[in-house]
Amino acid sequence: MDFQDNLELSLGKLKTRKKNATKIVPFVALAILFTLIPLYYPSLHPKKLSQVLSSSSFQSNSSYSSSTEEKNEKIITTPSSSPQINVTRSDTLVAAPQARFINHTDEKCDLFLGEWVPNPDGPYYTNMTCFTIQEHQNCMKYGRPDRDFLKWKWKPDACELPLFDAHQFLQLVRGKSLAFVGDSVARNHMQSLICLLSKVVYAVDVSDTTDQETKHWEYRDYNFNMSIFWAPYLVKANKTEPNNTYQPFNLYLDEPDESWTTKIQDFDYVIISAGHWFFRPSMFYLNHTLVGCLFCSQPNVSQLTSFFSYQKAFQTAFRIINSLENYKGITFLRTFAPSHFEDGVWDKGGDCVRTIPFKRNENVLDDYNLEFYKIQLQELTIAQKEGKNKFRLFDATQSMLLRPDGHPSKYGHWPKPNVTLSNDCVHWCLPGPIDVWNDFLLELMKREAIDE
């Protein structure tokens, strides 16, 4: 699909006789006035979502990068370099508010458009009170010296976002179930939720495996359970070489990943997300036929982009959800959370050493972050229009774009003599800025309950 912006402003020529010039001067003045006002006050001239989604063409990435997860598997990837997309600040900021029609209950307040403000009361748990923090996100344990990054909260422009209330959440989800579908950032989110709930009650791990990829937890006093399903590509995928994670993955972009699609029908809430894995070398299949690849060396195979596979994956995932006859739950699309590598890519010294958030005008959503975000908004809108199931927007992009200070960096492990370890600017410290996702989640659930 071509997303090249083809909007043009056609200005007709003004033809008049000299004797009518004095009559036309006032109209010319008005025309100039109404042309200048939108330029200097863009909020008076909002774009439609369809214009935002087509504001720039998808371009291919030239290389990829990854960050080491536990078990030394390279699973979190971001492009090490990619062509710059020419977008303006107004282009990026308009995307979120103009997408709000996706959640009709957001008319009362747009939760996702705002800024970070000081909160001296944070954090609300520590690595000593929560047992589910994984080592590579345990920034306090591994010596992060600053604490100011824990002293912020998200403030929407038009209202207050209540801080997470564990008692209220548990009462709201009594007798219900919640599933996370995605990669290790989805797991990062689930672990944040477990930590926040630990102020009231500890979850019981009822998983039938010891690995972290698929976990099941129960809150028996509330008859509430949550699960995470490992699905970094959302669609069917396998390794080209089973024992070598550095080789390309086969992605069957029109086929479901049954590890989660066959399991979610009984869940009341499903949070679906994906992102960083789509920059890995991959072979793309449609209708069981190889149609292209990303960063492959095979001759006579078309080089396609991560945007191609990302869009196809969400199309397939949402199509499958809409086809589930017995699924009556609410699906939240948690949008892409940008990484924050600076002064180099992940494997060339890139790091995230900032200690305070960006102000809203200090960072711009651009390049692949913007394109992934637009793909998600577009496919979510299509899924809502075509299907009978409930889809809702859970926009983490705008808030997390402003939090370069919230990543583990080098504080996810102890230093090793004569060993260079890459910095983690993809995942989020626990506690940390990702905890706001559960502020969002609780408020979204409350709105759904009121709407019902």
**Residue 208 bears catalytic tag:** no
Secondary structure of residue 250 in the 3-state scheme:
strand
Q: Pick the catalytic residue: 340, 427, 435, 439?
A: 427
Is position 184 annotated as part of the catalytic site?
A: yes
H-helix or E-strand containing 271? strand 269-272
Give the single-character DSSP code of 420: -
| Whether residue 427 lies in the annotated active site | yes
From the candidates 65, 184, 273, 409, which is the catalytic residue? 184
The tally of CA atoms less than 13 A away on the side-chain side of residue 6 is 3
List, in sequence order, every beta strand (DSSP E) within 59-212: 65-68, 74-78, 114-118, 152-156, 177-182, 204-205
Distance CA 41, CA 50 (A): 21
Phi, psi (deg, nearest 5) at residue 313: -65, -45
DSSP 353-406: ---SPPPTTS----HHHHHHHHHHHHHHHHHHHH-SSEEEEE--HHHHHT-GGG
Q: Which of 106, 424, 435, 439 is catalytic?
A: 424
Residue 316 to residue 405: CA distance in whole angstroms: 34
Query: CA gyration radius for the chain?
Result: 23
* CA-wise closest residue to 433 among 148, 158, 114: 148
3-state class percentages of the chain: helix first, strand second, coil last, to nearest 5 = 35, 20, 50
Reading the block at residue 307, the tokens are 């945007």
Active site residues: 184, 424, 427
